[in-house]
Amino acid sequence: MKMVKNAAGRLVPTEVNGKPAVPFKGVGKHIPSGNKAAPMIESCVHYPADGDKRVPSIKEALKRCGIKDGMTLSSHHHFRNGDLVANQVFDAAAELGIKDLVWFPSASFPCHEPVIEHMKNGVVQRVEGSMNGPLGAYCSHGHMKGLGVLRSHGGRWQAIQDGEVHIDIAVIAAPTADPFGNATGDRGPSACGLLGFALADSMYADRVIIVTDNLVPFPCIPWQIHGNNVDFVVETDRIGIPEKIVSGTTRITRSPDRLLIAEMTARFIKEAGIMRDGFSFQSGAGGTSLAFAIFLRDMMKQAGVKARFIRAGSTKYQVEMLEQGLADFILDGQTFDLEGVRSMRENPNHINTSPFTSYNYHGKGNFASMMDVVALGATEVDTGFNANVVTHSDGMLLHGIGGWQNCLASKCTILPIPSFRDRIPVIVDKVTTLCGPGELIDVIVTERGIAINPRRQDLLDAVKDSDLPIRTIQEIKAEVESMCGKPSKLKLLDKVVAVVKWVDGTIIDSVYQVP
């Protein structure tokens, strides 16, 4: 494998899974050329005039799709750890004697551990997509035949749209669908909210299969997925485990340190003048993020400030803010709890978005760069404000990128993170895996103080008269190391097991095999 040093100083392969790869050139430096992927021209002649595209099973649908060795099959992750469909697809492929498939999920979860067996028996050659938990460990240990390719949600859209990844067959699990293939995620016994992560698949794949456990007469309204892009519809008993798809309640952190971090993040936004009428913010569904949203909500109420919109992964907290008039809209990319699902179904101001609208870097703009402020997690940050979100300090690949890289485009990107975890410092000399370049990360909020990127003199000026604990990142790092000790240098093997793509499709870093 030939390796070159990219613009971030990281060694990356020049070829990935047999195709040439472009090394990262710097933020905004790679200018794409050429044309988007062009799906085949279809004809109504080949589809039932009455619109009934049902076939009896996933196996039958795969056969009619012309499944062959080496094809790329895709799936979405809106069911998270409650997905019951992806494993069935590979079981069916195995029964059909198919080998060397590429699985291209929008993300994978521990429930997809059975795919490891299919990698061992040759049905699946590799996974291209985030690998959380056991699949990540399998890849980290060098067992996967091909290279893992980690992309952001926007990067996945970009890769499909630009023809870097050609999906032969997309299998879309849909909580409600009609026989024509119109489908929605916002209702049905396995409701997951929306199906935005499957939208590109439905538009660009050669063949599209809808799998549903809630068939309704045409038309399925809303049609988050257009039946006009669908080839076959399969009815099954159950496509997901509701309590693992969405939780009735989402848990706010109880850790005093995390609460402090959440509060300081909200205070920073207020003191820096970002929290003003008509502003926009985005945060996640983790315990600290939820606490942050609650602190921010209270400060907004107190100041009489209303947001124009909230970008979410929605939970009941964002929904409450919408319903209490603290925001005009929620622009939602995935729903994390039942209240999020209900709100999306019922409230016309709770809007279903996709990676196309929100994150695609190879479009005519996207929403991410319009955000006033985002709060994101990270596994590691270094003194250059570079951050890691996919590997742990031990080098293990355990997380996907999600929308994280895309969100860095915001006007103010904040990482509210603990300064150490399990006595391992989070602020390091050099991140194990580079996922986000430091020039895009503006503020690090820890329980030991707030570090502002020196590039953002405007933010330093904005809070200089506040009583926020503004410190340099070096100061915070030194303090943590005086407590936890400086971690010894990580020793990884030379073998590359996965690559991390930047939002423009270039390769920003490599992930190495762990010993």
Query: Which of 491-506 are b and which e, b meaning 16 or more Cβ less than 10 Å from the residue's Cβ?
Result: ebeeebbbbbbbbbbb
Residue 16, classed as helix, strand or coil, is strand
- The answer to whether 422 contacts a second copy (rule: CB under 8 A) is no
Q: Which two tokens stand for residue 493?
A: 């093997």
Q: Work out which of 94, 241, 305, 351 binds a second copy, going by CB under 8 A.
A: 351
Of residues 176 through 205, those in contact with a second copy by CB under 8 A are: 180-181
- The answer to whether 357 contacts a second copy (rule: CB under 8 A) is yes
Specify the residue, 153 or 399, whose C-beta has the smaller distance to a second copy.
153
Piece of 121-129, 264-272, 357-365, 492-500 that binds a second copy (CB under 8 A): 357-365
- The answer to whether 366 contacts a second copy (rule: CB under 8 A) is yes
Tell me how far, at minimum, the Cβ of 508 lies from a second copy, in Å: 17
Of residues 268 through 287, those in contact with a second copy by CB under 8 A are: 278
Piece of 39-47, 117-125, 185-193, 461-469 that binds a second copy (CB under 8 A): 39-47
Spatial separation of the C-alpha atoms in residues 55 and 59, rounded to whole Å:
9
306 phi, psi to nearest 5 deg? -120, 135
Q: Which two tokens stand for residue 205?
A: 């794949």
Compute the radius of gyration of the chain from its Cα atoms. Answer: 23
Specify the residue, 47 or 487, whose C-beta has the smaller distance to a second copy.
47
The amino acid at 397: L
Specify the residue, 37 or 137, whose C-beta has the smaller distance to a second copy.
37
| Strand duo 413-416 + 327-335: pairing | unpaired
Report whether 442 contacts 414 (CB < 8 A): yes
Please name the residues in contact with 394: beta carbons below 8 A apart, sequence gap of 6 or more: 490, 514
Tell me how far, at minimum, the Cβ of 95 lies from a second copy, in Å: 26
Specify the residue, 371 or 473, whose C-beta has the smaller distance to a second copy.
371
Piece of 73-81, 216-224, 268-276, 475-483 that binds a second copy (CB under 8 A): 216-224
Piece of 46-54, 125-133, 168-176, 380-388 that binds a second copy (CB under 8 A): 46-54
- The answer to whether 367 contacts a second copy (rule: CB under 8 A) is yes
Report whether 128 contacts 102 (CB < 8 A): yes
Spatial separation of the C-alpha atoms in residues 445 and 469, rounded to whole Å:
10
Query: Which of 105-133 are b and which e, b meaning 16 or more Cβ less than 10 Å from the residue's Cβ?
Result: bbbbbebbeebbebbeeebbbbbbbbbbb
Q: What is the DSSP string of 282-299?
A: E--SSHHHHHHHHHHHHH
Tell me how far, at minimum, the Cβ of 33 lies from a second copy, in Å: 7
Print the binding letters for residues 445-484 with a second copy: x by CB under 8 A, - otherwise: ----------------------------------------
Q: Work out which of 18, 20, 43, 97 binds a second copy, going by CB under 8 A.
A: 43
Q: Which long-range contacts (CB under 8 A, 24 or more apart) does 96-100 make?
A: 96/59, 96/62, 96/63, 96/67, 98/67, 98/68, 98/69, 98/71, 98/123, 99/69, 99/70, 99/123, 99/125, 100/69, 100/70, 100/124, 100/125
- The answer to whether 306 contacts a second copy (rule: CB under 8 A) is no
- The answer to whether 437 contacts a second copy (rule: CB under 8 A) is no
Torsion of CA 488, 494, 496, 500, to 10 degrees: 40
Spatial separation of the C-alpha atoms in residues 239 and 174, rounded to whole Å:
8
Specify the residue, 138 or 367, whose C-beta has the smaller distance to a second copy.
367
- The answer to whether 20 contacts a second copy (rule: CB under 8 A) is no
Q: Work out which of 329, 470, 479, 487 binds a second copy, going by CB under 8 A.
A: 329
Q: Work out which of 106, 265, 360, 393 binds a second copy, going by CB under 8 A.
A: 360
Specify the residue, 458 or 475, whose C-beta has the smaller distance to a second copy.
458
Piece of 11-19, 226-234, 254-262, 383-391 that binds a second copy (CB under 8 A): 226-234
Print the binding letters for residues 133-162 with a second copy: x by CB under 8 A, - otherwise: ----------------------------xx
Residue 257, classed as helix, strand or coil, is helix
Q: Give bridge partners of residue 177 from the DSSP assignment.
A: 183, 215
- Point out which residues bind a second copy (CB under 8 A): 28, 31-51, 53, 161-162, 180-181, 208, 217-219, 221-223, 226-231, 278, 308-309, 329, 331, 348-349, 351, 356-357, 360-367, 369-370, 409, 411, 504
